[in-house]
């Protein structure tokens, strides 16, 4: 027969679950950070473009001013104007040369060679406002920017004001390797190094441009956003570190929140699912040979945050809310699973505490049958300790249940016998096999005559009724001697061992039928 199975959330599942919100936060934060960096970079690029355009426009403004001042001269006859043209070219910044053009389209006056200029006006015919030249006859491979100003007068068509590309490239120059700037005039491009070239097509590089409102030119930049983002990240790692820390803290907080599911009742349900209620074993010692002959299974709560929690802190609440049934069932499953594979001494007693709620629940015989089925038939003595702490309803239903249990071979013990108000009435009304003398009576041996009298009466009563007597709380050899002499069958207490995890219990030598070290009562506690 199988126990109804409990499927707790595995450790790895729990870890995954707690990591998820942290990861989600990390991703969201990462995306936000990237968005913020992206927006910051775009803003910087836009300002750089605007700044560079402004600088180039300033150069052209200056060139225009110089050209216009020439066109306003009363006579533009070359011999007359030439000295002034030369003076302007040598004194004004940026302007490398100026050339006057007549209505026939010929350069008739050149700041470099005066009025003897042959008609080398091959760049002229298009007469565009702005032209990027590869060079001129004097310096064929040195790009020049020509600004054309129309004269609107009868003696001259206009003036070409030529700007040296060195000034322009200086304005385009940029230190960062992940961006390149170009000046675009018509179909031609001037790069940061002063070369005339198209921006190369590169994977993952993008282009952005800003056209001038005053001149037919644009500043174009190409840039690698992924590289710039990476660079930004490496320059400002603090944000990433902060985000990581924040995500970890968030995950950790969520983990704690998961463990503390709020209401105590839900906390118990969660702990049952996680199998946090684990069995501890305390040996039962045969009073005749003083050998370990059984165990009492005691519940401990292995709380993930609070550590090992003792039963008195949670059992009363679990009993009052009914959770004790699922908790005890889980304890029985774990005990059966861990002890069922061992070869236990014949008649090995396994005592389990059962609360009134479990008795009333009706599932006890099924769960006990499942427990017994794990062991070889007849190999163990399963004993259910019914505590006097809670009132167990006696009557036909309880009688039928006890009969069912007895049929299965399960024994019934009255725990903490003598402390409750109904000890004797239980004996009268219920078919009981064992009495467990409360440790307060054992503690009184040799020191408290009233306790000793009650103890004697319980022992005599049990003998008369033919019940097994277990004395709990045996700590000293004097108590042991007394109980042995007065007919207690089984002894339990710190004298032999404290409750311990099953793994530890199996390592103890006494388990292999070797007697434990005798422990004598300290002098101060010996009776006078």
Ligand X SMILES: Nc1nc2c(ncn2[C@@H]2O[C@H](COP(=O)(O)O[C@H]3[C@@H](O)[C@H](n4cnc5c(=O)[nH]c(N)nc54)O[C@@H]3COP(=O)(O)O)[C@@H](O)[C@H]2O)c(=O)[nH]1
Among 472, 486, 490, 491, binds ligand X (CB under 6 A): 472
* Closest CB 308 distance from ligand X, rounded Å: 11
* Closest CB 244 distance from ligand X, rounded Å: 44
Among 110, 416, 433, 434, binds ligand X (CB under 6 A): 416
Among 63, 100, 298, 402, binds ligand X (CB under 6 A): 298
Which CB atom, from 184 or from 328, has the smaller least distance to ligand X?
328
Among 331, 344, 435, 462, binds ligand X (CB under 6 A): 331
Is residue 41 within a helix (H) or strand (E), and if so which, with residue range? Answer: helix 11-71
Residue 333 sits in the site that holds ligand X (CB under 6 A): no
Residue 311 sits in the site that holds ligand X (CB under 6 A): yes
Residue 493 sits in the site that holds ligand X (CB under 6 A): yes
Residues in contact with ligand X, counted by CB under 6 A, come to a total of 26
* Closest CB 340 distance from ligand X, rounded Å: 18
Which CB atom, from 311 or from 487, has the smaller least distance to ligand X?
311
Which CB atom, from 160 or from 355, has the smaller least distance to ligand X?
355
Q: Are 165 and 143 in contact (CB under 8 A)?
A: yes
Which CB atom, from 32 or from 308, has the smaller least distance to ligand X?
308
Among 89, 404, 494, 519, binds ligand X (CB under 6 A): 494
* Closest CB 407 distance from ligand X, rounded Å: 23
* Closest CB 451 distance from ligand X, rounded Å: 15
- State how far the alpha carbon of 470 is from the alpha carbons of 487, 493, 502, in Å: 10, 10, 21
Judged by CB under 6 A, which stretch of 156-164, 294-302, 393-401, 418-426 contacts ligand X?
Answer: 294-302
Identify residues 495-514 at the interface with ligand X (CB under 6 A): 499
Backbone CA torsion sign across 70, 73, 77, 79: negative
Residue 100 sits in the site that holds ligand X (CB under 6 A): no
Strands (E), 230-337: 277-286, 291-303, 307-309
Q: Are 66 and 98 in contact (CB under 8 A)?
A: yes
Among 145, 259, 299, 382, binds ligand X (CB under 6 A): 299
Identify residues 24-43 at the interface with ligand X (CB under 6 A): none
CA dist 476 and 520 (Å) reads: 5
Which CB atom, from 229 or from 427, has the smaller least distance to ligand X?
427
The two tokens of residue 349 are 């007693």
Burial class for 378, CB neighbours closer than 10 Å (0-12, 13-18, 19+) = exposed
Q: Please name which of 105, 142, 133 lies closest in space to residue 120, comparing C-alpha atoms.
A: 105
CA dist 521 and 528 (Å) reads: 13
Edge-to-edge order in the sheet of strand 205-211: 188-191, 179-185, 218-224, 205-211
Q: Please name which of 467, 402, 469 lies closest in space to residue 438, comparing C-alpha atoms.
A: 469
* Closest CB 482 distance from ligand X, rounded Å: 14
Residue 294 sits in the site that holds ligand X (CB under 6 A): no
Q: Are 159 and 99 in contact (CB under 8 A)?
A: yes
Which CB atom, from 63 or from 392, has the smaller least distance to ligand X?
392
Which CB atom, from 178 or from 510, has the smaller least distance to ligand X?
510
* Token pair 């300002």 in the structure block, residue: 47
Among 48, 88, 247, 282, binds ligand X (CB under 6 A): 282
- State how far the alpha carbon of 526 is from the alpha carbons of 373, 479, 480, 481, in Å: 47, 11, 14, 14
Residue 312 sits in the site that holds ligand X (CB under 6 A): yes
Q: Are 364 and 405 in contact (CB under 8 A)?
A: yes
Which CB atom, from 48 or from 282, has the smaller least distance to ligand X?
282
Identify residues 338-397 at the interface with ligand X (CB under 6 A): 353, 355, 385, 387
CA dist 314 and 337 (Å) reads: 24
Q: Please name which of 476, 472, 471 lies closest in space to residue 524, comparing C-alpha atoms.
A: 476
- State how far the alpha carbon of 187 is from the alpha carbons of 125, 181, 199, 217, 218, in Å: 17, 16, 12, 10, 11
How many C-beta neighbours within 10 Å does residue 404 have?
16
Residue 324 sits in the site that holds ligand X (CB under 6 A): yes
* Closest CB 236 distance from ligand X, rounded Å: 56
Name residues whose C-beta falls within 8 Å of residue 10's C-beta, 6 or more positions apart in sequence.
Answer: none
* Closest CB 397 distance from ligand X, rounded Å: 20
Residue 488 sits in the site that holds ligand X (CB under 6 A): no
* Closest CB 319 distance from ligand X, rounded Å: 6
Judged by CB under 6 A, which stretch of 28-36, 226-234, 394-402, 487-495 contacts ligand X?
Answer: 487-495
Judged by CB under 6 A, which stretch of 24-32, 252-260, 307-315, 375-383 contacts ligand X?
Answer: 307-315
* Closest CB 294 distance from ligand X, rounded Å: 12
Identify residues 417-446 at the interface with ligand X (CB under 6 A): 439
Judged by CB under 6 A, which stretch of 33-41, 167-175, 179-187, 488-496 contacts ligand X?
Answer: 488-496
Which CB atom, from 98 or from 471, has the smaller least distance to ligand X?
471
Measured distance between the N- and C-terminal CA atoms of the chain, rounded to whole angstroms: 57
Strand, coil or helix: what is 39? helix
CA dist 417 and 413 (Å) reads: 9
Residue 6 sits in the site that holds ligand X (CB under 6 A): no
Q: Please name which of 377, 265, 261 lies closest in space to residue 319, comparing C-alpha atoms.
A: 265
Which residues are near ligand X by CB under 6 A? 282, 296, 298-299, 310-312, 315, 324, 328, 331, 353, 355, 385, 387, 415-416, 439, 472-475, 492-494, 499
């Amino acid at each position: 027969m199988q126990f109804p199975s409990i499927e707790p959330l595995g450790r790895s599942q729990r870890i995954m679950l707690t990591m998820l919100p942290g990861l989600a936060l990390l991703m969201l934060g990462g995306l936000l950070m990237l968005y913020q960096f992206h927006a910051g970079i775009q803003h910087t690029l836009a300002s750089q473009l605007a700044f560079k355009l402004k600088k180039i426009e300033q150069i052209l403004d200056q060139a225009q001013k110089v050209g216009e001042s020439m066109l306003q001269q009363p006579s533009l006859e070359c011999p007359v104007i030439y000295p002034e043209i030369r003076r302007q070219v040598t004194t004004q910044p940026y302007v490398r040369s100026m050339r006057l053009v007549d209505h026939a389209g010929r350069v008739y006056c050149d700041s470099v060679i005066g009025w003897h200029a042959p008609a080398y006006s091959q760049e002229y015919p298009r007469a565009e406002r702005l032209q990027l030249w590869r060079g001129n006859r004097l310096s064929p491979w040195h790009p020049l920017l020509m600004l054309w100003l129309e004269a609107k007068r009868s003696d001259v068509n206009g003036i070409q004001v030529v700007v040296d590309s060195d000034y322009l490239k200086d304005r385009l120059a940029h230190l960062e390797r992940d961006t390149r700037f170009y000046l675009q005039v018509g179909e031609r491009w001037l790069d940061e190094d002063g070369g005339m070239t198209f921006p190369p097509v590169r994977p993952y590089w993008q282009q952005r441009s800003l056209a001038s409102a005053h001149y037919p030119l644009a500043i174009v930049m190409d840039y690698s956003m992924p590289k710039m983002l990476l660079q930004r990240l490496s320059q400002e790692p603090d944000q990433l570190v902060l985000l990581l820390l924040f995500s970890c803290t968030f995950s950790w907080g969520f983990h704690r929140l998961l463990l503390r599911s709020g209401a105590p009742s839900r906390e118990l349900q969660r702990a049952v699912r996680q199998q946090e209620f684990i069995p501890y074993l305390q040996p039962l010692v045969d009073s005749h040979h003083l050998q370990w002959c059984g165990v009492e299974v005691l519940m401990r709560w292995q709380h993930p945050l609070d550590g090992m929690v003792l039963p008195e802190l949670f059992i009363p609440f679990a009993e009052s809310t009914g959770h004790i049934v699922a908790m005890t069932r889980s304890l029985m499953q774990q005990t059966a699973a861990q002890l069922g594979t061992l070869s236990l001494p014949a008649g090995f007693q396994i005592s389990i505490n059962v609360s009134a709620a479990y008795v009333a629940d009706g599932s006890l015989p099924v769960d006990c049958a499942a427990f017994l089925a794990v062991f070889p038939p007849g190999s163990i003595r399963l004993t259910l300790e019914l505590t006097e702490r809670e009132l167990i309803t006696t009557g036909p239903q309880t009688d039928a249940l006890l009969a069912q249990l007895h049929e299965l071979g399960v024994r019934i013990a009255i725990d903490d016998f003598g402390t409750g108000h109904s000890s004797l009435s239980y004996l009268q009304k219920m078919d009981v096999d064992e009495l467990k003398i409360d440790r307060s009576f054992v503690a009184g041996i040799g020191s408290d005559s009233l306790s000793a009298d009650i103890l004697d009466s319980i022992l005599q009563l049990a003998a008369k009724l033919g019940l097994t007597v277990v004395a709990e709380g045996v700590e000293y050899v004097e108590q042991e001697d007394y109980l042995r002499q007065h007919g207690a069958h089984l002894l339990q207490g710190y004298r032999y061992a404290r409750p311990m995890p099953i793994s530890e219990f199996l390592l103890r030598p006494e388990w292999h039928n070797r007697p434990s070290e005798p422990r004598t009562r300290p002098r101060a506690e010996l009776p006078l």
